[in-house]
A and B are shown apart, each in its own frame.
Chain A
Amino acid sequence: MMQLPLKGLLVLEFSQYLSGPSAGLRLADLGARVIKIERPKTGDACRKLSIKNLWADENNSLLFHTINRNKESFTANLKDPQDLKLVLKLIAKADVVTHNFRPGIMEKTGLGYGDVIKINPKLIYAEISGYGKKGPWKNKPGQDLLLQAMTGLAYTTGNANDAPMPFGLSIADYMAGGQLVQGILAALIRRQKTGKGALIEISLMESLLDFQFELLTTYYSSGKGLNRSQVSNGNPLLGAPYGIYQTATGYIAIAMMDIQVLATVIGSKQLEQFSQSDTFVKRDEIKRLLGNHLLQASSIHWLEMLQHHGLWAMEVNDWHEMTQKEAYQVLQMEQTLQVNNKSFTTTRCPIRIDGKRIFSSKPAPELGEHQLQIQRDLINQ
């Protein structure tokens, strides 16, 4: 039987919404015991945040269960000295603390890094802010779309004549959570060697700049802003034909490839006049011609041709089409959560360890669900 890699670790999660809690979810799936420390009565504000009005039970949204499955819940009013004492006892036993409050909040509560390492010098204290702790933006709300807007990311997607366009998912939150996990785990590795705890800090802004590191490095070197193609933009750095094209029956994706080879394979006389060196300077012209040509036949027709010649092309699926594919089903990416008498399907951890997929059917906790058990296991001991 495989031992989950983080077995035995205790993580206290003071985080809400997505960034911090997505880090907690990954640590939980990899074997840590993750306890959410929540405000009495309301808890993590994400409990009441639903998408498409989907609820797992009367108190908790399906979204909350998606992000917080496989965790426990302990309620404490951090402004109440009695409760704070209990939390400090938990911190004394914890390996990791995460939070994503705005700068200064944890310090005001008496749970700043400087305070808590006095009671637990081996603690890994990990925090996510929106924009870092200094500078003119430090008190701005750390909301995903705002970060996309401010970091230049909105100029990577869509076509040249479109307005700046956001990603349709919370990329800043997700990346910051992912980076936080890496920092926490690396600090735990150092602690095993030196006995030292650590302070790990991430901001949504730095995470999203890091996410664009290829584009930014190119910008620093060339001084030229991002230049999306006028049609079928796939990535502003890349030349033709990179992008998604409409066919007679749907859409296909075409990645980087030699333009001459492409012209021959799809039988386009017009594309034959271009050489590889034209793929940046004549990008829009090539993409327009290619787009017109591909409209003449079905997706299957083109994909068979392109893939047969080893060219990088792929069908464009929606989730219906994708979930019916054997290639999706063999992954066994879905798993079931039991919430009271109802069952819900969600995704599992994407990392396999020792050849095994990691499943967990444990739903998200009710607010304060593990109060007594945590008192008994960790506080009264």
Chain B
Amino acid sequence: MVKLLEDIIIVDLSQFLSGPSAALRLADMGAQVIKIERPDTGDICRHLYVSDVIIEGESSIFHAINRNKQSYAADLKKDTDLQKVKQILQRADVLLHNFRPGVMERLGLDYDTVKALNPQIVYAEITGFGSEGPWKDLPGQDLLLQAASGLTWLSNSQSENPTPMGVAVVDILAGTHIAQGILACLYRRTITGEGGLVQVSMLESILDFQFEVLTCFYNDGGALPVRSAVNGGHAYIAAPYGIYATKDGHLALAMGDILILGILLTCPQLLIFEDSAQWFSRRDEIKQILANHLVIKSTAEWLAILEPADIWCAKVLDYQLLMHETGYQELNMELVVKTSKGVAVTTTRCPIRVDGEILVSEKGAPLLGEHNAEIDQQFNIIDTKELHPIDSF
């Protein structure tokens, strides 16, 4: 299998989703990822039943995020364990963490200390709100960031409450950005020989996600987004953009010419909107006409008219329907991994193809501390306890 990141060692102290999703991507591209976890509890995500679906005593989500990684149990508050982790860090390429500001300093694993230990290391950290300012100690939790950043005023229709996006988008984007920064610094290291510090906050990440519409806000006198009153799709895009009910399901219509739609759909009421500026200024009227008209026929009937005319449209699928589509099956997106106890878990693979190949690894999520012995051996870790046989647990 192709391994772009062969021989790269990532020491991952992060928990939940943001950091671990970045480490997952790096693992899929060939890096060795060592999760450093607290003995007894481990990554809180193991037991935080954020979904009611449990696999092998742990949440389905933990398995999805942490496949293809190793687990090394260590209590960073105990000096013997801290020393072991420092020995690993001496030979690691990347350290990743998502503790709140100040925690790594208290543990004695702040950037300066780790850099002194290993000047070539890329030290990467994710915070919720940055490490300065009045919000720095607030919990970096996905929904709270969506709420704080204005994001919840972009989805849904005008009269509705602010609406969060129903996926942990802030965590995933912070993970994407930290992975980009880590890889960029690893590249630089091949030129300069030096490591680096990479920092991402969830707040900056979710602002970046809004960069197009925020730029609009900054420059148009501070006008707030106005969601459309009918079939809200995107606050800044004209009719017909949105999802519409049909006789038997739903149809998505993206940007398109209202007059052409009027003719294709045999909907003469649309033909009065001759000035394309009205497609934005009177979008609610237009969308209401479309909504009333599209329920008359089935999704398939509409698609049979619209698709040959190259109109941007699609049938709206839920997971069940999606799985039956050849277009989905051909992607080979599902991946079955096995835990060391032999439990098989179906999840998705890395979305990146390299040299024409998909990247797949059968390795499931590790048990807590599963790889301690293996890693001790790999890094020739000398247990200071052995030097003091009188000390006991």
- Do A and B belong to a common assembly? yes
Query: Residues of A with Cβ closer than 8 Å to B?
Result: 3, 5-8, 18, 26, 30-31, 51-52, 54, 62-63, 66-67, 131-132, 134-137, 140-141, 143-146, 148-158, 162-171, 174-175, 178-179, 181-183, 185-190, 192-193, 198-203, 205-207, 209-222, 225-226, 228, 232-239, 242-244, 246, 251-256, 280, 307, 312-322, 325-331, 333-334, 344-347, 349-355
Q: Is the CB of B161 within 8 A of A157?
A: no
Interface size of B as a range: 35 or more
Q: Is the CB of A146 within 8 A of B314?
A: yes
- Bound: A66/B116 CA distance, A: 39
B354 touches which one: A198, A237, A350 (CB < 8 A)?
A: A198
- Bound: A152/B323 CA distance, A: 10
- Bound: A171/B151 CA distance, A: 13
B314 touches which one: A150, A228, A347, A352 (CB < 8 A)?
A: A150
Q: Name the A residues within 8 Å of B233 (CB-CB).
A: 145, 166, 168
Q: Name the A residues within 8 Å of B386 (CB-CB).
A: none
- Bound: A235/B199 CA distance, A: 27
Q: Is the CB of A244 within 8 A of B147?
A: yes
Most buried by B among A167, A168, A315, A347: A168
Most buried by A among B152, B168, B216, B352: B352
Q: Name the B residues within 8 Å of A243 (CB-CB).
A: 143, 164
- Bound: A147/B123 CA distance, A: 35
A331 touches which one: B184, B203, B318, B351 (CB < 8 A)?
A: B203
Q: Does B104 contact A (CB under 8 A)?
A: no
Q: Name the A residues within 8 Å of B199 (CB-CB).
A: 351-352, 355
Most buried by B among A167, A207, A217, A330: A217
A210 touches which one: B180, B220, B348 (CB < 8 A)?
A: B348
23 intermolecular pairs with C-beta atoms under 8 Å apart: A8-B191, A136-B326, A146-B314, A149-B243, A149-B250, A154-B252, A158-B166, A163-B250, A171-B165, A186-B5, A186-B30, A213-B64, A226-B318, A244-B143, A244-B152, A312-B141, A316-B148, A320-B224, A328-B203, A330-B130, A350-B201, A352-B200, A353-B198
A371 to chain B, nearest CB (A): 27
Q: Which 6 A-B pairs have the closest CB atoms?
A: A156-B166, A168-B154, A185-B183, A149-B252, A253-B147, A135-B330
B94 to chain A, nearest CB (A): 12
- Bound: A56/B243 CA distance, A: 31
A177 to chain B, nearest CB (A): 9
Given the known A-B contacts A182-B25, A319-B214, are A344 and B219 also in contact in the complex, defined by CB atoms under 8 Å? yes
Q: Does B50 contact A (CB under 8 A)?
A: yes
Q: Name the A residues within 8 Å of B381 (CB-CB).
A: none
Q: Name the A residues within 8 Å of B317 (CB-CB).
A: 149-152
Interface residues of B in 177-220 (CB under 8 A from A): 177-181, 183-188, 190-192, 196-201, 203-205, 207-220
Given the known A-B contacts A146-B252, A235-B168, A351-B181, are A218 and B60 also in contact in the complex, defined by CB atoms under 8 Å? yes
Q: Does B270 contact A (CB under 8 A)?
A: no
Q: Does B242 contact A (CB under 8 A)?
A: yes
Q: Is the CB of A166 within 8 A of B141?
A: no
Q: Name the B residues within 8 Å of A328 (CB-CB).
A: 203
A350 touches which one: B6, B145, B156, B205 (CB < 8 A)?
A: B205
- Bound: A330/B192 CA distance, A: 31
- Bound: A171/B217 CA distance, A: 19
Q: Name the B residues within 8 Å of A5 (CB-CB).
A: 181, 184-185, 187-188, 196
Q: Does B222 contact A (CB under 8 A)?
A: yes
